[in-house]
Amino acid sequence: MKMTGAQILCESLVKEGVEVIFGYPGGAVLPLYDTIPHYPQLRHILVRHEQGAAHAADGYARATGKVGVCLATSGPGATNLVTGIANAYLDSSPMVAITGQVARPFIGKDAFQEIDITGITLPITKNNYLALDVASLAGIVKEAFYLARSGRPGPVLIDIPRDVFVDQAEFHYPARVDLPGYKPTFEGHPAQIKKAAKLIDEAERPLIIAGRGVVISEGYAELKQLAEKAQIPVITTLLGIGCFPESHVLSFGMLGMHGMAYANMAVNDADLIIAIGMRFDDRATAKVSAFAPHAKIIHIDIDPAEIGKNVRVDVPIVGDVKVVLKALNKLVTSAEHVDWVKCLDSWRQEHPSTEIRDSQGLLPQFVIRQIYEVTKGEAIIVTGVGQNQMWAAQHYWYNKPNSLISAGGLGTMGFELPAAMGVKVGRPDDIVWCVAGDGGFQMTIQELATIVQEKVAVKIAILNNGYLGMVRQWQELFYGKRYVATPLTCPDFVKIGEAYYLPALRVTRKEEVVPAIEQAMEHNGPFIIDFMVEPEENVYPMVPPGAAIAEILEAPKKEVTAWPRRSTP
């Protein structure tokens, strides 16, 4: 039976197990929107800005491991997706972005709402397609989903001209893809794994750095087995947080610019680094030439291009983390590194890094810790970028895999709210807290309307310091306290909540924190808490930009007595 392009697309999405589409209609996708209601399996969530659709699909994908789908019209609809696609690309999030395009006869004519979105997204997608023929559409969708989720996951874009949605063809969903140029390697090379096992057996001060690759491959048990079998301390990258329980005796937190001092010191002192599913981002390594100066490095990653890109590697293993670790664990001999672990423990005693000082003022760190206490560590925390992100990473303790979802590589303000929405849609039974700064929150604030309309019970904690906090921190430390373009006059977020028909509270004092969080938890639906936190609080520890990983600035012993705050207009 012949079907229209729009029907073929919907049928294909159903075949791929798609349950939800985050989208926004427009002229070029109207034939598709007219078809979607005939597929009740496909829940369409109408966002308020296409960036929100992309972030929501990204959040959904990370929370579920399934491919997230976003949909936009041609031209501005498509370009509004770009930030979200780039964010998914940098953090290896499986996503299929579908855009409408002007009808084929108009392509290349600068027609109304025409933009070359496949050209624009070339460097931020695993692959992209312009579907010029309705007969090719099903095959393209099949390929797109396969590429998005397999190997190192990432976003794939499909651009579909308006008239292709209307054209008709027989629908045959291909059973397999034929991509001779794409064959991800899953099994690590046995000789390399053998070499790695030998290095691990010989090491006196081994250290595991675990990244998002562990989450993607779900290699949690294998990671734990390796750490325990050879008694190897584990630190994680920002996106690796939760892949190893932070309460474990071998867990020593996060490394990097705002990592725990003891984690960074461990990197500096280790004689062997086992890097698992991470890519040596500059925020993790600090000054590359001074990274792990005494260590040999084993690097396990599914993407061969990550090997040797930023740091020299002694034993590269290309493969799926879970599969490689399984093989590696068989070869590694049981060992103890009691002195080394004791050494790390003593560093943790001396440089606690996550201690929250006594303060009269309302500290953002304290807020995060109370969210942890009230949710008993069971929540999924979603953040954008900045101070709020770092405090959420440091002061909530993650024992469940994949319980921190954060804009890592691209560092996108405004990711938090739409992503949290996507997470909650994908994991409706989990508690989802969006931790936002007052700056980032205003970048995608319009999605409050979406979560209300779609009844998505996201709890929102705004750490409101009246500044673009992380930038202000850099200005304080490195630009002589010249706060250029960082003070923010914010709207009344409680009234914003009211205006969007959702309950909101303002918290200004420490003792109000727990009752407010409890009230938010008890409320059956989305909820905003505007925490008026200490305006000039800094994130510590900090490795200054350009410094080596062991050159750590720790929190100065300052006590904030008053609650200095600029008046609102």
Binding region for other proteins (CB under 8 A): 118-119, 122-123, 126-127, 130, 146-147, 150, 175-187, 303-305, 307-309
Residue 214 CB, nearest approach to other proteins (Å): 20
Residue 130 CB, nearest approach to other proteins (Å): 8
Alpha carbon separation from 442 to 445, 470, 491, 568 (Å, rounded): 5, 16, 9, 17
Rounded Cα–Cα distance for residues 451 and 423 (Å) = 12
Residue 541: cis peptide before it, omega within 30 degrees of 0: yes
Rounded Cα–Cα distance for residues 441 and 49 (Å) = 14
Q: Which is nearer to other proteins, 173 or 483 (CB)?
A: 173
Q: Which is nearer to other proteins, 146 or 347 (CB)?
A: 146
Q: Which is nearer to other proteins, 173 or 186 (CB)?
A: 186
Q: Which is nearer to other proteins, 26 or 151 (CB)?
A: 151
Q: Which is nearer to other proteins, 309 or 342 (CB)?
A: 309
Rounded Cα–Cα distance for residues 205 and 216 (Å) = 27
Residue 484 CB, nearest approach to other proteins (Å): 30
- The neighbouring-strand residues paired with 404 are 381
Q: Which is nearer to other proteins, 151 or 535 (CB)?
A: 151
User: Under a CB-based contact definition with an 8 Å cutoff, are residues 292 and 267 in contact?
Assistant: yes
Per-residue H/E/C for 457-477: CCEEEEEECCECHHHHHHHHH
Residues in the chain: 569
Pairing of strands 20-23, 43-46: parallel
Residue 309 CB, nearest approach to other proteins (Å): 6
Residue 181 CB, nearest approach to other proteins (Å): 4
Alpha carbon separation from 483 to 233, 354, 438 (Å, rounded): 40, 27, 16
Rounded Cα–Cα distance for residues 521 and 508 (Å) = 19
Q: How far is CA 181 from the centre of its chain?
A: 28
Rounded Cα–Cα distance for residues 484 and 80 (Å) = 28
Rounded Cα–Cα distance for residues 463 and 478 (Å) = 23
Residue 175 CB, nearest approach to other proteins (Å): 7
Residue 123 CB, nearest approach to other proteins (Å): 5
CB neighbourhood size of 99 (10 A):
28
Q: Which is nearer to other proteins, 140 or 550 (CB)?
A: 140
Q: Where are the beta strands (DSSP E) in 279-403?
A: 296-301, 315-318, 380-383
Rounded Cα–Cα distance for residues 162 and 260 (Å) = 52
Residue 132 CB, nearest approach to other proteins (Å): 9
CA atoms within 13 A on the CB side of 421: 31
Residue 179 CB, nearest approach to other proteins (Å): 6
Q: Which of 81, 146, 18 is nearest to 425 (CA)?
A: 18
CB neighbourhood size of 175 (10 A):
6
Q: Which is nearer to other proteins, 188 or 466 (CB)?
A: 188
Q: Which is nearer to other proteins, 176 or 330 (CB)?
A: 176
Q: Which is nearer to other proteins, 110 or 178 (CB)?
A: 178
SS3 416: helix
Structure tokens given for 438: 């007052």
Contacts of 209 (CB under 8 A, 6+ apart): 235, 236, 237, 240, 255, 267, 273, 274, 275, 276, 278, 284
Pairing of strands 234-236, 251-254: parallel
Residue 184 CB, nearest approach to other proteins (Å): 6
User: Under a CB-based contact definition with an 8 Å cutoff, are residues 73 and 99 in contact?
Assistant: yes
Q: Which is nearer to other proteins, 119 or 487 (CB)?
A: 119
Burial degree of 17 (CB within 10 A; 0-12, 13-18, 19+) = exposed
At residue 166's C-alpha, the angle toward residues 8 and 45, to 5°, is 60
Residue 295 CB, nearest approach to other proteins (Å): 21
Q: Which is nearer to other proteins, 64 or 121 (CB)?
A: 121
Q: Which of 143, 144, 146 is nearest to 156 (CA)?
A: 144
Q: Which is nearer to other proteins, 126 or 337 (CB)?
A: 126
Residue 478 CB, nearest approach to other proteins (Å): 26
Residue 15 CB, nearest approach to other proteins (Å): 13
Contacts of 455 (CB under 8 A, 6+ apart): 525
Q: Which is nearer to other proteins, 183 or 557 (CB)?
A: 183
Residue 434 CB, nearest approach to other proteins (Å): 32
